[in-house]
Chains A and B, each alone.
Chain A
């Protein structure tokens, strides 16, 4: 039996009226791998995330999460998916613990199990001492770490992060990257990380380049760069050309 990918997106297209936001997008995130989704603003990254998280119905094509088709088994698929959205989504009037426990209840986790899990995760992101503080008192970087902890409360096996380091200082950004890479390395979590910050990507990472709603390159980050160019130079070359679907 062949192992299903953590995420399998096959031939997904999405339109807003006459505007095509995604055109025949196919990509896979292998289990236990860090996969970067690169694309300039307006490339369609957030639309793709909205389709994968079922905020939008996939109009055309197929999405599977750990072998569960999103249209046929949405509950099983979403139960194994953790998401950190681009926009901040914590309730600032509630405490850190209240936010995390609320999320646990959205996944049907008993209060007792949730409390234990929340304690472990706050420890993991280095914010155990902020458990009972209101979210509005946290810095941007701390809020992001809490959002990562929240996305892991229900023990997902696939984690989507939509430009999680945007607007953060260098130190906070490094913290976020370190935490997520440790999850991949130590727990075998599969990650799809949307970004346009090249320092966050390592040469051995899988990478997919999305441009104007089409995949224009895929492979390891190291293989996308050609003839000694940097990944950033390769990216600029790819998005300067009219989008041509990658094989």
Chain B
């Protein structure tokens, strides 16, 4: 019988203590914990790290070498001379890593939701938008590490990127990572099950990547189709690539920056709405996943 008097029932008027902090310091601890978990998971999955690098390196070493002569690239900003095709594709491939990483983070959000660890995250006392922002920052941290690992290997390819460019590109990589992560975050809220994710990858990653300035300058696209050119210009991935491309040569492209920041804000806001307990995915579902009562 559980009729024993409790040893330490809180009194009526005393505030009930709480071990954690709910202020800004507490939130930073929370943010640090989420980033740490993401990095732990990332380094635990070494094959994920290597496969993320292999993809762009195959493009750079094989594809770009093969197309070197076919796809000669004429002078256009930020380049001041004719550049080799390998030089041209490097920024696009670095941002491609971030694109895949954004989708990978999104995939892990869907996975977290299926296995239930998303519930644990969402019962944290911090506001939901701060939790999603922390998730986003965690994903961006991983994607920036990957992008620089790629640049480190690509450095041996005589890319002529000035040293200052590697430093100047950091904020650009962070901005593009945030944008692609926000898109992934919203997608994760729209995908109901993990199995559906492959088709989303096909409908998002490939069109975004190919309809952009990652692999070829847009004037070449324009020569064949004005419509396709307009689509490429409307593609936020184009602007993420251009932002990084200019930054790597110590230059700033305001249009790309505005598009990247605007897209990030729009998609992150939509993701916050989607994860809102009253309006979002949780409310629309016919009940919690995996539960039977």
The digit string for B1-44, where 1 denotes a CB below 8 A from any CB of A, is 11111111111110011111111011101101110110011001
Binds A, one of B222-230, B252-260, B275-283: B275-283
Within 8 Å of chain B (Cβ to Cβ): is A169? no
The digit string for A82-124, where 1 denotes a CB below 8 A from any CB of B, is 0101111111011000100111111111110100010000000
Query: A17 CA to B285 CA in the complex, in Å?
Result: 9
Within 8 Å of chain B (Cβ to Cβ): is A139? no
Contacts of B12 in A (CB 8 A): 1-4
Q: B44 and A106: CB pair below 8 A?
A: no
Query: A33 CA to B4 CA in the complex, in Å?
Result: 10
Q: A56 and B277: CB pair below 8 A?
A: yes
Return the contact of A107 from the options B6, B11, B20, B283 (Cβ within 8 A): B20
Closest B residue to A75 using CB positions: B125
Interface residues of A in 56-80 (CB under 8 A from B): 56-57, 59, 66, 74-80
Q: A53 and B293: CB pair below 8 A?
A: no
Return the contact of B123 from the options A53, A94, A202 (Cβ within 8 A): A53
Contacts of B278 in A (CB 8 A): 56-57, 59
Contacts of B286 in A (CB 8 A): 16-17, 19
Contacts of B288 in A (CB 8 A): 46-47, 50, 55
Q: A104 and B33: CB pair below 8 A?
A: yes
Contacts of B40 in A (CB 8 A): 94, 98
Contacts of B202 in A (CB 8 A): none
Within 8 Å of chain A (Cβ to Cβ): is B117? yes
Contacts of A19 in B (CB 8 A): 286
Binds B, one of A36-44, A125-133, A224-232, A238-246: A36-44
Chain B's nearest CB lies how many Å from the CB of A169? 20
Within 8 Å of chain B (Cβ to Cβ): is A199? no
Place the interface of chain A in its size category.
35 or more
Q: B9 and A89: CB pair below 8 A?
A: no
Return the contact of A74 from the options B8, B30, B41, B125 (Cβ within 8 A): B125
Chain B's nearest CB lies how many Å from the CB of A56? 6
Chain B's nearest CB lies how many Å from the CB of A67? 8
The digit string for A166-210, where 1 denotes a CB below 8 A from any CB of B, is 000000000000000100111110000010000000111100000
Query: A94 CA to B41 CA in the complex, in Å?
Result: 7
Query: A154 CA to B25 CA in the complex, in Å?
Result: 16
Chain B's nearest CB lies how many Å from the CB of A120? 11
Q: B287 and A157: CB pair below 8 A?
A: no
Closest B residue to A147 using CB positions: B120
Within 8 Å of chain B (Cβ to Cβ): is A31? yes
Contacts of A153 in B (CB 8 A): 19
Q: B33 and A102: CB pair below 8 A?
A: yes
Contacts of B3 in A (CB 8 A): 204
Q: A104 and B277: CB pair below 8 A?
A: no
Query: A186 CA to B125 CA in the complex, in Å?
Result: 26
Interface centre among B4, B22, B33 (most CB of A within 10 A): B33
Q: B293 and A108: CB pair below 8 A?
A: no
Q: B22 and A79: CB pair below 8 A?
A: yes
Within 8 Å of chain A (Cβ to Cβ): is B62? no
Q: A54 and B6: CB pair below 8 A?
A: no
Are A21 and B2 CB-contacts (below 8 A) given A76-B125, A93-B41, A109-B20?
no
Return the contact of B120 from the options A93, A106, A111, A187 (Cβ within 8 A): A106
Q: A105 and B116: CB pair below 8 A?
A: no
Chain A's nearest CB lies how many Å from the CB of B258? 34
Contacts of B117 in A (CB 8 A): 89-91
Contacts of B285 in A (CB 8 A): 16
Chain B's nearest CB lies how many Å from the CB of A95? 9
Contacts of A54 in B (CB 8 A): 122-123, 277
Within 8 Å of chain B (Cβ to Cβ): is A45? yes
Contacts of A41 in B (CB 8 A): 292-293
Interface centre among A47, A81, A91, A153 (most CB of B within 10 A): A91
Q: B291 and A86: CB pair below 8 A?
A: yes
Query: A104 CA to B33 CA in the complex, in Å?
Result: 8
Q: Which 10 A-B pairs have the closest CB atoms?
A: A105-B33, A108-B26, A32-B6, A57-B278, A188-B6, A107-B20, A3-B12, A89-B116, A32-B9, A108-B20
B→A interface (CB under 8 Å): 1-13, 16-23, 25-27, 29-30, 32-34, 36-37, 40-41, 44-45, 115-117, 119-127, 276-279, 282-283, 285-293
**10 A–B contact pairs at CB < 8 A?**
A16-B285, A55-B277, A105-B29, A105-B32, A107-B18, A107-B30, A150-B120, A155-B18, A185-B2, A203-B1
